[in-house]
Structure 1
Amino acid sequence: MDELGSPAVSHEERPWEPVENGMPLSRRARLASRGPYRAAVPAAIAHLDFALPGHVIAESTDALTEIARFDAELSLPGHGGEFVPLAAVLPRTESASSSQIENVTAGAKALALATLQEKAGANARLVAANVEAMSSAVDMAEDLSEQTLLAAHRVLMHGHADAQPGRFRDAQVWIGGSPFSPHTASFIPPHHDRLPAAMSDLMQFCERTDMPVLVHAALAHAQFETIHPFADGNGRVGRVLVHVMLKRAGATRRLTVPVSSGLLVDTAAYFDALTAFPAGDAAPIVQRVTEAAFAAVGNGRRLHRDILNCYEQWTQVVTARRDSAVWHVLPHLVSQPVVTVQFVQEAVGVSRTAALNAVNHLVKVGVLAPASAAQRDRVWGAGEIISALDEFAVRAGRRRMG
């Protein structure tokens, strides 16, 4: 490590040309939008030696141990003695929590419908895109690069042209203040001309192996948010980066720990930590991600128990023959608690008649119930799993009381 210092940004003046968008402005607003503004210039961190308190590093190491233990213990008993990993459930809980941080919310049923490409609201489609973006990025963890993040952004913001899907921004952005100019913003990320150098430095930082894994991931996330390389979707892609780095370091192998659900416990503290980082204090974001990891593991374990209880109850009420397709459907209901006959047919690899018979049996024993009033292209839901997922979200959204 070549340098000892802090991640504090410097600033540079940039000229501002008011954008004529036809919106009337008061005299005060026009005056406030004139003249140069000061944009952040991120510190180079590729070789920076972060001076963190010992207790912060120790707690992050303890949290990483809990993450690894959680990863090792989470699997779901399936029919025939097989083990069906719960890994498919957790990316959805993580994506829903990450989206909720950005005030994009969707319940478990709506998200499952969106995943099926059935009728769903805009928010559910955004969360479903977040699931896909995170899964694709984590799959590319071994080859982490700018292209990994661009690909995740392309999936996340597909259909949102203003967000420039899959491209780094080509204009100045800012946080807070007026929508007409950056002059009154609470934070102005670097000018887009500086993105190539800033992202190259961040990718070099991500290659380092000389710091604890969770510390490394938290700092990379904070630097990404400081750079703010996209026109939109920075928070969600930045939290994807945390999971990519955990997977790349071998801290997680089979699952995605829903760290964002832990951040949801106290979003104000999370945003304060992201603000402290470019001001030169790296400890708060490491502390916040560490606390989030502990909270996420605890909440995830509770979700695991709830789903396991549901699954065990299903196996007691299903009366079909042991070679019936019904038994092969049950594990799929954990990760996809809203289904159609076509989904069952394709997931299990049976005829449409066998799929319909399996659904009818599961409805008869109370595992599934109609999820819509439509008679054609009917949709069925596993209500107990949907409730368990929604209860996970409620626990994640609880704020600490002073």
Structure 2
Amino acid sequence: MKREATGHLEITSTAGEPVRAFVPDPLPPLPPLKLGRLGLALHDRALLACGRLDGVASLLPDPDLFLYAYVRREALLSSQIEGTQSSLSDLLLFELAEAPGVPFDDVVEVSSYVAALEYGLTRLASGFPLSSRLLKEIHAVLLARGRGVDRQPGEFRRSQNWIGGTRPGNARFVPPPPGRVDSCMAELERFLHAEGDLPLLVKAALAHVQFETIHPFLDGNGRLGRLLIVLMLVDGGLLRQPLLYLSLFFKQHRSRYYELLDAVRRDGDWEAWVLFFLEGVERTAAAAVDAAHRLLALFQADEAKLTVRGRSGVSVRQVLAALRQRPLIGIPQLAARAQLSFPTAAKAVERLVSLGIAREITGGRRNRVFAYDSYLAILGEGADPL
């Protein structure tokens, strides 16, 4: 059965200008989704890819290594979609010592994304439900610093916002009036906790569109809408670790992404959106598995270099292990992580430089910073600013 628009327009006034704001219908869609045989097969492949991803981290010497770097890669990609120009190295340098020269406002936004994700996961792990209240708390962390600090962090908006255009009257899309945000989010929360036969991946696909359509905050909606996906998958037990992130897929297919959101609102074409989402899940999970395997191969190859090119002492291996934990780091931090003296750590990292494993990036004699370039290259794929 063909659907029509998935909501209705309400005439509201902003700065004296009449505006047609879109108020979405509650989820799930009516009539129910029909993905067909191809859609069900795609869902099964996406689910299988998630299962492989959930198990791949155990192959690494320390699963937290992959998690640390992958979360930061996602933070970077999600923020780039919103227009930031930071690189992965910018973020790691900022976290290392708030190093001068990086684009401060941009890198603060990326760093805040990491903090917001970690906060949300910690709250979920403590038993707190995925809810409007939790999303507000996460939003407060997301906008605690940088450009969004004056955009009502942690509060649903009390004024009209819009997407595209210079004002609501010529915008590409106008979300619900502020007086409807609470009720729309309450409906979304009910959907998140409703029992039913919708698979979790499909439910996450629907919830993401609904959140983006409501646009409940003055700023940060895109980043929080992408965070909602991984929070749902972890909370629902599909993933034990937050390793599935769709920001690169959305970044690579931005035009299609926005076209499909519009098609859902205008024509009720949920099926096309869900198929796109499931394709993104399958591709993204497979790419993450591939990255983990390549990291494992890199670690093994670099360990072999230490053996093939002459016997290396324990201190060199300890410093290499510390570089895996923090692939961009200074000698004091290396020494602390490897539990070595400063001179011993300095000598060991120079050995890694001579083997082509590490590289000094400042060119100075003091406060030197070393990069594990091959590791950063794997994690930085697709993470160039738009």
Report TM bin, short chain.
0.7 to 0.9
- Map of 1:12 onto structure 2: 10
- Map of 1:213 onto structure 2: 200
Matching of residue 65 in structure 1 with residue 48 in structure 2: yes
TM score, norm. by length of structure 1? 0.83
Retained in 2: the 8 A contact 1:93–1:258?
Answer: no
- Map of 2:103 onto structure 1: 121
In structure 2, C-alpha distance between the alignment counterparts of 1:349 and 1:205, rounded to whole Å: 50
- Map of 1:276 onto structure 2: 263
In structure 2, C-alpha distance between the alignment counterparts of 1:389 and 1:231, rounded to whole Å: 31
SS in 2 for 1:15: strand
Retained in 2: the 8 A contact 1:217–1:242?
Answer: yes
In the alignment, which of 82, 90, 93 is matched to residue 110 of structure 1?
90
Matching of residue 316 in structure 1 with residue 314 in structure 2: no
Retained in 1: the 8 A contact 2:9–2:22?
Answer: yes
Retained in 2: the 8 A contact 1:76–1:85?
Answer: no
Q: 1:212 to 1:258 in 2, by over 3 A?
A: same
**Deviation of residue 86 (structure 1)?**
2.0
Query: Can you list the C-alpha shifts for 1:316-368, whole angstroms capped at 9, x where unaligned?
Result: 2334434x3x4344344335311012322443455545544443443343322
- Following superposition of structure 1 onto structure 2, how do residues 77-156 of structure 1 map, counting pairs within 5 Å? 77-78=60-61, 86-116=66-96, 117-119=98-100, 120-122=102-104, 123-141=106-124, 142=127, 143-156=129-142
SS in 1 for 2:168: coil
- Map of 2:276 onto structure 1: 288
What amino acid sits opposite 1:169 in the alignment?
Answer: R
Aligned length: 370
Q: 1:373 to 1:158 in 2, by over 3 A?
A: farther
- Map of 1:56 onto structure 2: 39
Q: 1:373 to 1:153 in 2, by over 3 A?
A: farther
- Following superposition of structure 1 onto structure 2, how do residues 367-386 of structure 1 map, counting pairs within 5 Å? 367-386=357-376
Specify every segment of 5 or more residues in structure 2 that has no aligned partner in the other structure, as ranges.
none
- Following superposition of structure 1 onto structure 2, how do residues 339-354 of structure 1 map, counting pairs within 5 Å? 339-354=329-344
Q: 1:196 to 1:66 in 2, by over 3 A?
A: same
Matching of residue 246 in structure 1 with residue 233 in structure 2: yes
Q: 1:67 to 1:187 in 2, by over 3 A?
A: same
Point out the more displaced range, 94-103 or 4-13.
4-13
Q: 1:240 to 1:83 in 2, by over 3 A?
A: closer
SS in 2 for 1:239: helix
In structure 2, C-alpha distance between the alignment counterparts of 1:77 and 1:37, rounded to whole Å: 54
What amino acid sits opposite 2:90 in the alignment?
Answer: A
**Deviation of residue 162 (structure 1)?**
3.3
In structure 1, C-alpha distance between the alignment counterparts of 2:168 and 2:373, rounded to whole Å: 47
In the alignment, which of 185, 199, 212 is matched to residue 199 of structure 1?
185
Retained in 2: the 8 A contact 1:338–1:379?
Answer: yes
Retained in 1: the 8 A contact 2:164–2:172?
Answer: yes
Retained in 1: the 8 A contact 2:14–2:160?
Answer: no
What amino acid sits opposite 1:275 in the alignment?
Answer: D
In structure 1, C-alpha distance between the alignment counterparts of 2:60 and 2:40, rounded to whole Å: 36
Specify every segment of 5 or more residues in structure 1 that has no aligned partner in the other structure, as ranges.
19-33, 398-402
Structure number with higher helix proportion: 2
SS in 1 for 2:10: strand
Alignment identity in percent? 30
Query: Can you list the C-alpha shifts for 1:253-292, whole angstroms capped at 9, x where unaligned?
Result: 1341132222223111111122122222222321221111
**Deviation of residue 313 (structure 1)?**
2.3
- Map of 1:165 onto structure 2: 153
In structure 2, C-alpha distance between the alignment counterparts of 1:212 and 1:289, rounded to whole Å: 13
Retained in 1: the 8 A contact 2:160–2:178?
Answer: yes
Retained in 2: the 8 A contact 1:307–1:385?
Answer: yes
- Map of 2:220 onto structure 1: 233
**Deviation of residue 251 (structure 1)?**
1.1
Retained in 1: the 8 A contact 2:321–2:338?
Answer: no
- Map of 2:21 onto structure 1: 39
Q: 1:354 to 1:41 in 2, by over 3 A?
A: same
TM score, norm. by length of structure 2? 0.86
Retained in 2: the 8 A contact 1:74–1:85?
Answer: no
